[in-house]
Structure 1
């Protein structure tokens, strides 16, 4: 269904607020950023802001939702990756975020620890996805509710590709991978991009080698 003009305007306004937040977080702490300043920069009234984001932290949730959709599209459609390759690339892309937006990622991880909200995100609208990624063909059809959902898709692909055993404990793998996803940025908060990528790769190898139950199967992530 094609989004209405109002829905497209709402998505544009939400993303203007998100852009304002990302710019300010390059220099300011999240808790110090005023909603009034975000509204002024985005040219949006405070009343409209609260219609879009009941709490300031909801902007962080909006960011991670858009990022997950983008990662799915880029890895699956553009790079044509699946299974373990897609998982590894997802973590490499997260390493890029660690360097580009360290304060943002810290706040997202903190929010996850405090509230577990990242496990219960509201769905993005078609307008949200089309406005954010106008050149991504069929991006509106992508549904990725949270990190666990994206990891589930990739793990299932890895099993179909025979990269992981058929009897793999999918739930345990999702928990382990999610733990790595959020813990490495904390442990390497002052690290370089190469150090963060290496840490992710090493942890992923440990998890994936442990997931293989047959001694004849060896999982090696791309170097």
Structure 2
């Protein structure tokens, strides 16, 4: 599960009190949900339980989230921010291929701490028949999560759709794939890999990161792309 960076000074001291309280309460509610999801299905978690963790009343909850499902969307925004920061550190060349590798690597390493959370998120999204509307993280929330990264406020974040779109744009710009690439079909194939592989991987007892990367590499090669040797590895359980 995500952890806040250590800092000696309150990272939100420059923000107004209202913004500080909003950022801390929303973050506490979301982290509280993740904690409970480590041992219980999402549908069994009650709002009143989350309120106890965040030390707020149940009516006050709705000042931060219109409904419980919005906590999942908030979590996805936080996850996207962590993926983006991870990519900034790993993908120095700024390639679309590198961004997608970071997406799979970071998510796999986080899910290894508790696979249930990733499966619950996938199940949640599978049940939704309409496009999910993500709430944007506030500057105070970004600063709370990454107090030691001044550039954090300039990073654009979103869900899996935004990350895939960014990766496709980078790949096109860097000419990492053929000119006649069907970008929409490729994005759908990678998205299918992202959401489908975890279910099979956990059922079969396979290492998620390895299977994710091997499947993604197969898709990438099939689209005419090239793979850097250092990212390929032998499967490990």
State the TM bucket, normalised to the shorter chain: 0.7 to 0.9
Matched, 1:177 2:219: no
Q: Structure 2 CA distance, aligned partners of 1:176 and 1:3?
A: 42
Q: Structure 1 CA distance, aligned partners of 2:49 and 2:38?
A: 15
Are the equivalent residues in 2 in contact too, given 1:14–1:52 (CA < 8 A)? yes
Matched, 1:28 2:40: yes
SS in 2 for 1:27: coil
SS in 2 for 1:23: helix
Show structure 1 runs of 5+ residues with no match.
Answer: 213-217
Q: Structure 2 CA distance, aligned partners of 1:19 and 1:146?
A: 18
Aligned twin of 1:159: 172
Show structure 2 runs of 5+ residues with no match.
Answer: 1-13, 233-237
CA offsets per residue over residues 109-168 of structure 1, 9 Å max, x none?
112111156653122222221122212222112222221111221222222222212332
Moved beyond 6 Å, runs of 4+: none
Are the equivalent residues in 2 in contact too, given 1:36–1:46 (CA < 8 A)? yes
Are the equivalent residues in 2 in contact too, given 1:152–1:170 (CA < 8 A)? no
What TM-score do the two structures reach when normalised by structure 1? Answer: 0.86
Aligned twin of 1:101: 114
Matched, 1:73 2:85: yes
Report how many aligned residue pairs link the two structures: 216
Q: Structure 2 CA distance, aligned partners of 1:204 and 1:25?
A: 28
Aligned twin of 2:95: 82
Matched, 1:54 2:66: yes
Are the equivalent residues in 2 in contact too, given 1:3–1:126 (CA < 8 A)? no
Aligned twin of 1:210: 222
Pairwise CA distance, 1:102: 2.0
Q: Structure 1 CA distance, aligned partners of 2:37 and 2:160?
A: 23
- For 1:34-49, what aligned pairs fall within 5 Å after superposition? 34-49=46-61
Are the equivalent residues in 2 in contact too, given 1:119–1:146 (CA < 8 A)? no
Pairwise CA distance, 1:15: 0.7
SS in 2 for 1:123: coil
- Structure 1 or 2: more helix by fraction: 1
Aligned twin of 2:10: none
